[in-house]
């Protein structure tokens, strides 16, 4: 059920790498319990958009507001400058992020990966963090890998551990950056199942994905990005069966073939 105010509001967001405009005026509202799937060709700006949301990548123009608060910048007298890192971090830790390449900490065991954020950033007691981490690992089906090193896990297991690590921060929004793109095909299902479970619990999320069937199934809204812009946006039923834009049709024809 959507509330009145969006928890995340993007307005006119732009970003360039040199002369190349990666994001060219993105407007997007994300409401509580939304599952926003972002699709599009590689290079269309999808991943950059996600990284701008929690300011892992700074955006250049426009605004990103999380619960009304500007992300990454402060504005005084109409002028904008970078916010203090400590301020940005307070916002950032409310986003859980899952990366294409998992990015688990290789020198730590699975459980140490999961408690790292809560103990180091949230200041939770270790014993308490471990109890919760064990619950999260059980949820993603990794209890028996509790003390394993990431390098001994399959890609699917690593990604599920990474999801548990992100959830341990009790995020308000989860950001998934192509969570299954680095996986062998037979391992995709277990990661999607873990994400599906979060959807069922009402987690708000943005997912950059190439899994069209999955997007169609779980998304409340689908965003099709092309050349740094949102070319088309709508409920999955509309986007996948009756897209308005010819660009969307061409893209879907290619990936759904």
Partner 1 sequence: MAYNWHFEVLLPYWPVFVNGAIKTLQLTFGAAALGAVIGLPAGIGRESRIAPVRYVMTAYIEFIRGTPALVQIVWIYYCLPILTGLQLGAMSTMIIALGIHEGAYIAEIFRAGIGAVDRGQFAAAYSLGMSRMRALRRIILPQAVQKMVPPFVNEFANLLKVTTLGSVIAVNELQHSATGLISVIYRPLEVYTALAAVFFVITYPLIFLAGRLERRLSSRV
Footprint on this chain of partner 1 (rule: CB under 8 A): 51, 54, 56, 85-86, 89-90, 92-93, 95-97, 99, 101, 103-107, 116-117, 120-122, 165-166, 169
> Smallest gap, in angstroms, from Cβ of residue 170 to partner 1?
11
- Measured from the CB atom, the residue of 177 and 232 that comes closer to partner 1 is 177
> Smallest gap, in angstroms, from Cβ of residue 201 to partner 1?
21
- Measured from the CB atom, the residue of 49 and 239 that comes closer to partner 1 is 49
- Measured from the CB atom, the residue of 161 and 212 that comes closer to partner 1 is 161
- Measured from the CB atom, the residue of 117 and 228 that comes closer to partner 1 is 117
Nearest-angstrom CA–CA distance, 39 and 47: 10
> Smallest gap, in angstroms, from Cβ of residue 56 to partner 1?
6
Can you give 160-213 as a three-state secondary structure string?
Answer: HHHHHHHHCCCCCEEEEECCCCCCCHHHHHHHHHHHHHHHHCCCEEEEECCCHH
> Smallest gap, in angstroms, from Cβ of residue 239 to partner 1?
28
> Smallest gap, in angstroms, from Cβ of residue 103 to partner 1?
4
- Measured from the CB atom, the residue of 74 and 105 that comes closer to partner 1 is 105
């Amino acid at each position: 059920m959507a509330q009145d105010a969006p928890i995340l509001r993007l307005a006119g967001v732009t970003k360039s790498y040199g002369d190349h405009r990666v994001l060219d005026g993105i407007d997007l509202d994300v409401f509580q319990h939304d599952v926003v799937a972002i699709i599009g060709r590689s290079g269309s700006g999808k991943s950059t958009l996600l990284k701008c949301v929690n300011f892992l990548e700074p955006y250049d123009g426009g605004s990103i507001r999380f619960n009304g608060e500007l992300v990454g910048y402060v504005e005084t007298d109409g002028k904008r400058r970078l916010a203090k890192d400590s301020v940005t971090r307070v916002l950032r830790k409310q986003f859980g992020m899952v990366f294409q390449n998992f990015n688990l900490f290789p020198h730590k065991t699975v459980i140490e990966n999961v408690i790292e954020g809560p103990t180091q950033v949230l200041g939770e007691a270790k014993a308490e963090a471990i109890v919760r981490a064990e619950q999260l690992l059980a949820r993603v089906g990794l209890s028996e890998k509790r003390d394993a090193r990431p390098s001994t896990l399959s890609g699917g297991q690593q990604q599920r551990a990474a999801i548990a690590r992100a959830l341990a921060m009790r995020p308000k929004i989860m950001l998934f950056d192509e969570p299954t793109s680095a996986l062998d095909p037979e391992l995709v299902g277990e990661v999607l199942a873990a994400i599906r479970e979060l959807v069922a619990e009402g987690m708000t999320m943005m997912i950059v994905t190439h899994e069209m069937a999955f997007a169609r199934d779980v998304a409340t809204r689908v965003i099709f990005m092309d050349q740094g812009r949102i070319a088309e946006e709508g409920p999955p039923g509309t986007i996948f069966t009756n897209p308005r834009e010819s660009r969307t049709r061409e893209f879907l024809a290619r990936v759904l073939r």
